[in-house]
Structure 1
Amino acid sequence: MKNVKYLKCINCGKIYEPVSGRYTCDDCGTIEGILDVVYDYDYISKICNKEYFLNIHNYSMWRYEPFLPVEKDGPKPKLRVGWSPLYKTDKLAEEIGLKTLYIKDDGINPTASLKDRASAIAVAKAMEENKKIICCSSTGNAASSLAGNAASCRIKTVIFVPQRAPQGKIAQLKIFGSNVISVKGSYNEAFKLSTMAIEKYGWYNRNAAINPYLMEGKKTVTLEICEQLNWKVPDWTVVSVGDGCTIAGIWKGYLDLYNTGFINKLPKLAGVQAKGCAPLTEAFFNNTKFKPSSENTIADSIAVGVPRNAEKALRAVRESKGTFINVTDEEILSAMRFLGSRAGIFGEPAGVAGFAGLKKLINEKIIDYNEMVVCIVTGNGLKDTNNAIKASGYPIEVEPDEKELFNVLENIEGLL
């Protein structure tokens, strides 16, 4: 990897060679010793500029290969991940009190979430290292994204999920042929068991907070946003936060573009957590390390009481001069209805939590009317139809009778 200099511990600064099996710092351990991929920006700048992308017709995350920690022209999973739509939603913006709003809908990825980006990197790296089995723990989306991308290359997967994971996501895992271990406990307990299994059997580790390469896949959402905006930078980027890997990856993407001269400013980041599981919001405002939290929210994908990438996430928001905000489950359900009925975008609870937080940030005058905002929807609503029905309600039932039908239709407000 000519574009990668080394891996660096974000806690003590120790440097490591990017070799197979190197995930965390030996001195700082698996909690504090998270590593960061450090790139040779001079090298990237020599091989990649804005004109370079005019001649790249691969509209997937792999168009950004010069910015990724993979071997040039190395093996890649078969699914088309990335280049999700960025919608300019003028009427939606006006309705919530903004002049300019873009919605990045990452729910259209192959397994219907942003986490396909990280899993594509995991599968590519596993193939580079000739690993036959990949393992992770997940509340659902990371698991299904790994299972789908690995299946496209006939690689086996072992997935640990907490028992509360939605059935839609479990169905994906089983259809993709994954070996699913449902843990009768929390996400943290599932994570610990997956770590034990990985260490014992030598499987490739797809746990994003441990594996430093996977955040690099998530950052491609930022690279796309900037290219789709013709290299303009929004004033704010708003996204839901669980483990912390996604928002840290978003910031890394902006930094990469800034350090290679593609953009000339950096945005503010707003991280949105569920009120029932908000350890990073609390740590941000108290200016402390996070404390473990309960996982009391319908937004399963961000229900992470012990975030494994807390420090990278907190640093990203602080460096951006951004903020965190919490939303209730009721606000999340309202956001599902709002985005669906007014923009035709169907997000799962965790996927729309960012938009719920955006509305609050505008109402609290943290985000100004004239600021340009990109809000990322991280997962599709079909992954959690139970909460979609809770948000929208059940259909109207009628007997096969003409009189009853017309009576019902004439009582629907605004229909006739």
Structure 2
Amino acid sequence: MRAYLACFNTVCGAVYPVTEVIYTCPKCGGLLETRYEGPSPEAWTLKQVWRERRMSNHPIDQSGVWRYREMFPFLEEDRHVITLREGNTPILDTVLASSYASVDRIRFKHQGFNPTGSFKDNGMTAGTSQAVRLGMKRVACVSTGNTSASMAAYAVSAGLEPIILIPNGNIAFGKLGQALDYGAKTLQVDANFDQILALVRVLAEKLGIYLLNSVNPFRIEGQKSIVIEMLDQLDWEVPDWIVVPGGNLGNISAFGKGARELYEQGFITRMPKFAVIQAAGASPFYEFMKAPHEHGFTPNTHPETLATAIKIGDPVSWPKAWQTIGAEGVVESVTEQEIADAKAVIGRSGIGCEPASATTLAGVKKLRAAGKIRADESIVAVLTGNVLKDPDYIYRYHTNQLKDPQEQALTGTYANPPVVVANDFAAIAKLLGD
């Protein structure tokens, strides 16, 4: 199949070769997406091929991304693929979380099982492979944490130099520690995510560095694999709702693109509805969707949330996310307290996740209470990151020390604090109830 880059702005519609190092349309400044033309195998054939690849020991078949490579054939040669066996993440049931949200059943697609602990690996394997294909030597990103950890791991695996710019003082140490351990050149900048992204785009262009933020269309191609793998795991039974946290909105954009392509090619017979959940202090997309045609999209210049993975005020992918939400989807925001309690409930389910992930459960609970989701509808919520990404948050919640960005104390509704005891058998036995 022929792959090419196309401007997402339908008024422009310019096209470019996939070998051109660009991230937005040179003609109009619009976002780009990767498209394909030409014959492809029938859906039923590919479903069988993808299942058979699960038994293969070939590295790209063991990848839960490249196993589905027929859906994003932008690479001419498999030798360019850089994989850490990403994907292959489970869908988990939890009765406790379902009860908490007042729905019959909610299942979690847990991307925290990825090699670096977040969904970013699905996109980064594709973006890094494209960097190798283009002959790049250095790659860069601005990150609130997960992107930097993922990019550093994939870059060094490919023999590339990773350069990371992060907001000074606004990153969870678990994520920063990953980037440092993988050997990334890390710069802490006194600015927020959106300001640094503008800076790094200039640096990438002037210094010949390949940019691997979600504005990179190949990142979106890799992230499509999450929804493809999800539906494969569900035996192609489409859930009524797929619920995703909303930060830079690359994930929801990728999910929408992947689901549309699966529908158009006959893999599924209907489209799911999508829900995007943002933190109330960093919710420009939620505010926009209240009345999208009245004032246009307005960035939040001072986003604030303890869910650092989605602390983004000017999400670059909002036009693609808007298309994905469409007429039947929904965007909601949740408070810091709602996020913290939902995260604790997920933890009590034996699953665990980073704070930003818990917006999905908090959002489902809120949407159910508002009557926007029925109790009997099938729901798959995406948990984007591992529970150990932000351990300080967990400790502060369970010891009733957690405060929101305005320094207001949050309630440890489901707190489970450690108990200090003497080194005394009788005292411990009494505490444990014999």
TM-score normalised to structure 1 length: 0.93
What is residue 250 of structure 1 aligned with on the other side?
A: 255
Unaligned residue ranges in structure 2 (runs of 5+): 55-60, 400-416
What is residue 61 of structure 1 aligned with on the other side?
A: 65
2: CA distance, partners of 1:340 / 1:41: 46
What is residue 84 of structure 1 aligned with on the other side?
A: 89
What is residue 58 of structure 2 aligned with on the other side?
A: none
Aligned amino acid, residue 223 of structure 2: K
Q: Is the 8 A contact 1:183 1:189 kept in 2?
A: no
What is residue 398 of structure 1 aligned with on the other side?
A: 421
Aligned CA distance change for structure 1 residues 48 and 65 (closer, same or farther; 3 Å): farther
Give the total of aligned pairs: 404
Structure 1 residue 358 and structure 2 residue 368: aligned? Answer: no
What is residue 271 of structure 1 aligned with on the other side?
A: 276
Higher mean alpha-carbon deviation, 68-77 vs 276-285, is at: 68-77
Structure 1 residue 340 and structure 2 residue 339: aligned? Answer: no
What is residue 13 of structure 1 aligned with on the other side?
A: 13
Out of 25, 29, 33, the position equivalent to 1:36 is 33
Out of 176, 200, 203, the position equivalent to 1:197 is 203
2: CA distance, partners of 1:359 / 1:237: 14
2: CA distance, partners of 1:155 / 1:204: 10
- Residues 311-390 of structure 1 mapped to structure 2, 5 A cutoff: 311-318=319-326, 321-342=328-349, 344-390=350-396
Which 4+ runs in 1 deviate beyond 6 A?
none
Q: Is the 8 A contact 2:96 2:345 kept in 1?
A: no
What is residue 3 of structure 2 aligned with on the other side?
A: 4
Aligned amino acid, residue 242 of structure 2: T
| Deviation, structure 1 residue 403 | 3.6
What is residue 119 of structure 2 aligned with on the other side?
A: 114
Structure 1 residue 232 and structure 2 residue 237: aligned? Answer: yes
| Superposition CA RMSD, Å | 1.8
Aligned amino acid, residue 315 of structure 2: P
Structure 1 residue 299 and structure 2 residue 304: aligned? Answer: no
- 1:24-72, CA deviations, whole angstroms, 9 ceiling, x for partnerless residues? 112222xxx1012222374254895222223212242110111123234
Out of 147, 159, 162, the position equivalent to 2:167 is 162
| Deviation, structure 1 residue 95 | 4.6
Q: Is the 8 A contact 1:42 1:260 kept in 2?
A: no
| Deviation, structure 1 residue 398 | 1.0
Higher mean alpha-carbon deviation, 152-161 vs 9-18, is at: 9-18
Out of 246, 266, 270, the position equivalent to 1:261 is 266
1: CA distance, partners of 2:149 / 2:304: 22
Out of 190, 206, 213, the position equivalent to 1:207 is 213
Q: Match of 2:78, SS?
A: coil
- Aligned-pair identity in percent equals 31
What is residue 413 of structure 1 aligned with on the other side?
A: none
TM-score normalised to structure 2 length: 0.89
Higher mean alpha-carbon deviation, 233-242 vs 14-23, is at: 14-23
Aligned CA distance change for structure 1 residues 94 and 3 (closer, same or farther; 3 Å): farther
Higher mean alpha-carbon deviation, 141-150 vs 64-73, is at: 64-73
2: CA distance, partners of 1:306 / 1:267: 26
Unaligned residue ranges in structure 1 (runs of 5+): 411-415
Q: Is the 8 A contact 1:44 1:260 kept in 2?
A: no
Q: Is the 8 A contact 2:263 2:270 kept in 1?
A: yes
